[in-house]
Structure 1
Amino acid sequence: MFYLKKRRKQMIALCLSAALSVGSLTAYAATEYWNDASTKPMVETKTPISDNTNWEQWKAGWDNLKTNYEQVALTPGADFSKLNFGWYSKEKTDKAMVRIADNKEMKNAKEFKGTCTEGTVINGVQYYSNKVTADGFKPNSTYYYQVKLNGEWQQAQEYKTGDPDNFSFMFVGDPQIGSSYKQKNAESNGKKLGNDLAARNDSYNWNVTLNKAMEQHPEIDFLVSPGDQVSVKGNEDAKDLKEQEDQYSGYLSASVLRNLPQAVAIGNHDCSSASYQNHFNNPNPFLEESTPTPAGNGYFYSYGNALFIVINANNYNAADHKALIEKAIKENPNAKWRIVVMHQDIYGSGLDHSDSDGIILRTQLTPIFDANDIDVVLQGHDHSYARTYQLTSDGQAHDEFLEYKQDQGGFNHDNFDERFEKDGVFRAYYKSQNLCYNIADKSQGTVVNPEGVFYLTSNSATGSKFYNLIPEQQDYVAARSQNWRPSYSVINITKDSFTVNTYDVETGEAIDSSYTIVKK
């Protein structure tokens, strides 16, 4: 299904900072592989899904699809009984509206009202951001919902709830629609794809990944992404913002997302514009964040006995993340599982970030996670797969490199990297400071009541961009993989166990052994 094409090296830039420099940190570049949808476009599925698994139909409909900015995004509510809705509209209304029923005919439907606020201007057209929260959902039940768009009720869509005492979610990494823009293939006539053809390619593959994952694991109840839903940052001009919104249209076009809630973090490619917070109606946004990015804030929600805390790691002010984590725990004191989701991987194994900007936050966040008994941290950013041992802080004081922090919460990579490259003494000191962890438990398979935190870094879910693994596997890494193919993880949580399995999208086969944490 997936064919890999060689690609040129591509520079990656962090939000609110310039591109990272070269030197002993290595050049920050994607690999020579990518996922070209045009080489084998048909995808075999047991249940054909209209036009989103046929490449020719996808191409023919792309111009209309990419400008369909009014697609609905479902997100988890503050708890299992709630469901959040977010969508764009061209018309302003006093109250955004959604109705819920237990039948497709929408008989006796209950209406829920929310907000409609000024959103994004795309090609001179003002779009409004609509957000509604519905409640009253019960376990193992089937519901139908309709949104009111520009004064008309849209087609009813199905939403099924699972079992909060035994549920599964899909963890996907960096869809980054449009990230293949520097690639070349026959359809681009030997030239770079550019943003439009890249978004068309990557959106199609995103559909394929979600369709295959749900076919292989229909038990999945919702989706979690550590960020970088799109590639264009949308912070330069109207053209830049329009291309970003085209990519959001491609991302949200996946038919699976009409029925599957998604809880997505802010990645460094999402964080420079307000489009992220206009599309996604996240529960419990942490408005107290002192240095948020334009995309918005971190947030939290509960599902069964699990508390999910999604931090905006593009903000390098760790005090904000500490405050969010403490607030979430205070409001959910009985949650048995505490899970943090963030974009930057502080314990990954990719060449581009895990041994450079990925560890800039390590000294600050590791003690915070320990102090708040965090069980699991789900990460992205490195476009390669890695699973750690159980890790703890070493309990020592470490340099936070405050002189390189920016007032708006970012990190001055220009100055930092220049010194890192030229000053060998500083380079050695920096690396020594980030040896700030202990390996608490190296057991594999099933671990019972372990100490420490488990970190999981996801590979690309679309193949729009892959990174190499760092040449020497770090001592904290239990397993890692880079086979140049999209993958996804299925995480199952019960009252007593947390289990993760990771799969190759094409084959459906596991790329790593299962790992289970049992808490008794």
Structure 2
Amino acid sequence: MKSRKNYAAAFILAAITAVLAGGYVYAATEHFSDSTTDQAWDAWTQKWETQVSRDYEKIALTPGADETKLNFAWYSKADGTATPKIEISKRSDMGQPVTFEGSTVPAIDGYLSNRVTADSLAENTTYYYRYYKNGVPSDTASFKTHTFNSYSMLYVGDPQIGASKGQSTSRGEKLENKSELNTAARNDAFSWNKTLNTAMNANPDISFILSAGDQINKNVNGKDPGNEIEYAGFLNADWIKSLPVSTTIGNHDSTNESYSFHFNNPNDTQLGKTTAGGDYFYKYGPALYVVLNTNNYNCAEHEQAMRQAVETYPYTNWRIVMIHQDIYGSGLDHSDSDGIVLRTQLTPLMDKYDVDVVLQGHDHTYSRSYLLKSDSKTHSNYNFHDWDNVSDEEGNVFPYSDASYQAQNNCYTIANTMSGGVTNGDGTLYMEANSATGSKYYELIPGKQDYIAVRNQNWNPTYSVICINSNTFAIDTYEIAAGKTRKIDDTYELKKTNASRR
């Protein structure tokens, strides 16, 4: 096994932070995306106040159990007759529609969550749809399918609408998230929409979005509606009503039920649950996607979910896992502390279930690993205790900088360091996505870890484009600066010459 680089600089910084602030403090930098500099800002502020911020009834599209299905979820008022119904047509005038009916569950006070699944979708087809709220149809919207066995996706990290709170704008305003206006959410929702529009203009054939968690920022508990204005900002983006989004539960989503009311995730395993929901999976063409709620530290349940997914779809050529916490990342705030709490438990599972790629969020920096495997040794397991400390299996509590914690997380081997890509490679690629909105950024860790191939922090919103077919997984990553895109990493490809799995 190759040893990790010395982290003395990081530990010294942590120690200084502990002395000054009484703990291992996680803090955003002064960098953020200031939307007030955009020429469209003034019109947006009007729209936010009069239309967006109190409209909780936006629809969300989610991938279905397989490529022929699509899931929908939306709020409607609870004071009328529930009509959880979707009409889908191949005609823009909604002629000859097919009707799909679903179910409702009580959501936040005064609202129902409607959930419907459409099936028998064909590839390379434009569909028009409308959904019903208390018997009244919505305006017509549309979505488009592409080739099922060769397609592209957007992979984004931490939109975290509302996380720019405390920052100061070009107009001298300090952003906040406590008032009914929530100026932080207003700022970040504008940037989220801008990122999606920029990415889709450059990549019009995207099939769906993969979001690695923290769709919103405000931590509230149970059915508290305090984060609904942030979900309103997230779901208001122009492309959301036309583009399915597969979301991961981030630590900012985890404590509140609103996530489960807004997203109708397929193949809900009822495993790995927190208040927001648990693990789920789906197949799309040649790939199996397993989305784990790593805010739950019960990896025995996560393994059950992975096993269930593989048994349901055993013959996909690619297996992709998406989690929020970055067990292999390179950001200062999480990558060597709470981000690796699950590393000793999850790394062997990626080997056991032959996972090709793990997509991560949480640390608001960009990195790409080498191909990694478990070192096949026995290591201690850990639990998240708080933002300053970790606990071991015996319940002992100690700081993240503790030498034994760091040493136990030397639980990997570097299987391949080839640049540009690998053919028939052994091991798992770990990607870390920076913020898609720029609502919050973190610094890179002082010394690049030996498992990291490439990393970046340019203080700009980023997104990745993943292209996949039976033989190739390719990923390109871009930053958005001054309205233009620029690649921040070379194209990286995983190839398989034998397309059949097992």
Residues 420 and 182 (structure 1), Cα distance of their counterparts in 2 relative to 1, 3 Å cut: same
The match for 1:60 is 46
Question: Structure 1, residues 90-109: CA drift from partner, whole Å, max 9, x if none?
Answer: 04545510011100111110
Cα distance between partner residues in 2 of 1:26 and 1:274:
29
- Matched-pair contact (CA < 8 Å) for 1:173–1:461: yes
Opposite residue 284 of structure 2, the aligned amino acid is Y
Opposite residue 130 of structure 1, the aligned amino acid is N
The match for 2:263 is 280
- In the TM superposition, what is the alpha-carbon distance from 1:188 to its structure 2 partner? 5.3
- Matched-pair contact (CA < 8 Å) for 2:433–2:463: yes
The match for 2:500 is none
User: Does residue 341 of the first structure (1) align with residue 322 of the second (2)?
Assistant: yes
Cα distance between partner residues in 1 of 2:148 and 2:23:
44
Cα distance between partner residues in 1 of 2:292 and 2:385:
16
The match for 2:91 is 103
The match for 1:5 is none
Cα distance between partner residues in 1 of 2:388 and 2:465:
38
- In the TM superposition, what is the alpha-carbon distance from 1:76 to its structure 2 partner? 0.5
The residue matched to 1:158 in structure 2 has which SS?
Answer: strand
The match for 1:364 is 345
Opposite residue 58 of structure 1, the aligned amino acid is W
Question: Structure 1, residues 4-25: CA drift from partner, whole Å, max 9, x if none?
Answer: xxxxxxxxxxxxxxxxx94799
- In the TM superposition, what is the alpha-carbon distance from 1:415 to its structure 2 partner? 5.4
User: Does residue 243 of the first structure (1) align with residue 226 of the second (2)?
Assistant: yes
- Matched-pair contact (CA < 8 Å) for 1:488–1:504: yes
Runs of 5+ unmatched residues, structure 2: 1-16, 498-502
The match for 1:177 is 161
The residue matched to 2:70 in structure 1 has which SS?
Answer: strand
The match for 2:462 is 487
Question: Structure 1, residues 453-492: CA drift from partner, whole Å, max 9, x if none?
Answer: 0000000000000000000000000000000000100000
Alignment match of 1:72 (pick from 50, 53, 59): 59
- Matched-pair contact (CA < 8 Å) for 1:34–1:463: yes
Alignment match of 1:420 (pick from 398, 401, 413): 398
- Matched-pair contact (CA < 8 Å) for 1:230–1:270: yes
The match for 1:516 is 493
- Matched-pair contact (CA < 8 Å) for 1:25–1:356: no
The match for 1:292 is 273
Matches within 5 A, 1:411-490: 411-412=385-386, 416=390, 419-421=397-399, 427-490=402-465
Cα distance between partner residues in 2 of 1:94 and 1:149:
7
The match for 1:159 is 143
Residues 415 and 476 (structure 1), Cα distance of their counterparts in 2 relative to 1, 3 Å cut: closer
The match for 1:119 is 107
Alignment match of 1:139 (pick from 117, 123, 137): 123
- Matched-pair contact (CA < 8 Å) for 1:184–1:193: no
Pairwise CA RMSD:
1.9
Runs of 5+ unmatched residues, structure 1: 1-20, 43-53
User: Does residue 302 of the first structure (1) align with residue 291 of the second (2)?
Assistant: no
User: Does residue 81 of the first structure (1) align with residue 68 of the second (2)?
Assistant: yes
User: Does residue 253 of the first structure (1) align with residue 253 of the second (2)?
Assistant: no
The match for 2:12 is none
- Matched-pair contact (CA < 8 Å) for 2:175–2:183: no
User: Does residue 392 of the first structure (1) align with residue 373 of the second (2)?
Assistant: yes
Question: Structure 1, residues 427-464: CA drift from partner, whole Å, max 9, x if none?
Answer: 21111100000000001112101010000000000000
Cα distance between partner residues in 2 of 1:60 and 1:94:
31
Cα distance between partner residues in 1 of 2:267 and 2:411:
31
- In the TM superposition, what is the alpha-carbon distance from 1:27 to its structure 2 partner? 3.0
- In the TM superposition, what is the alpha-carbon distance from 1:56 to its structure 2 partner? 1.4
Identity of aligned residues (%): 46
The residue matched to 1:120 in structure 2 has which SS?
Answer: coil
Cα distance between partner residues in 1 of 2:93 and 2:386:
56
User: Does residue 320 of the first structure (1) align with residue 301 of the second (2)?
Assistant: yes
The match for 2:247 is 264
User: Does residue 38 of the first structure (1) align with residue 36 of the second (2)?
Assistant: yes
Cα distance between partner residues in 1 of 2:175 and 2:158:
21
Residues 28 and 200 (structure 1), Cα distance of their counterparts in 2 relative to 1, 3 Å cut: same
The residue matched to 2:358 in structure 1 has which SS?
Answer: strand
How many residues are aligned here? 468
Matches within 5 A, 1:1-16: none
